[in-house]
Amino acid sequence: MDIPLLVIGTLLVASLTAFFSGILPYPIGWIILGIAFIARLLYLHGR
């Protein structure tokens, strides 16, 4: 298991969960985390 991918995925899920449960008024950083998650997947696929 890739540790950075796991961390990025956990942060992405946590931020979206907080947004949908009403804790955060808007999804802070989900675009950046989503891009980082996809970029990491593409990096690992290319290796």
* Contacts by residues 35-42 (CB-CB < 8 Å, ≥ 24 positions apart): 36/8, 37/5, 37/8, 37/9, 37/12, 40/2, 40/4, 40/5, 40/8, 41/5
pLDDT score of 1: 74
Its pTM stands at 0.82
Domain ranges of the chain: 3-46
pLDDT tens digits for the chain (47 residues)? 799 999 999 999 999 999 899 988 887 788 899 999 999 999 999 98
pLDDT score of 26: 80
pLDDT score of 14: 93
Are the CB atoms for 33 and 12 separated by under 8 Å? Answer: yes
pLDDT score of 47: 87
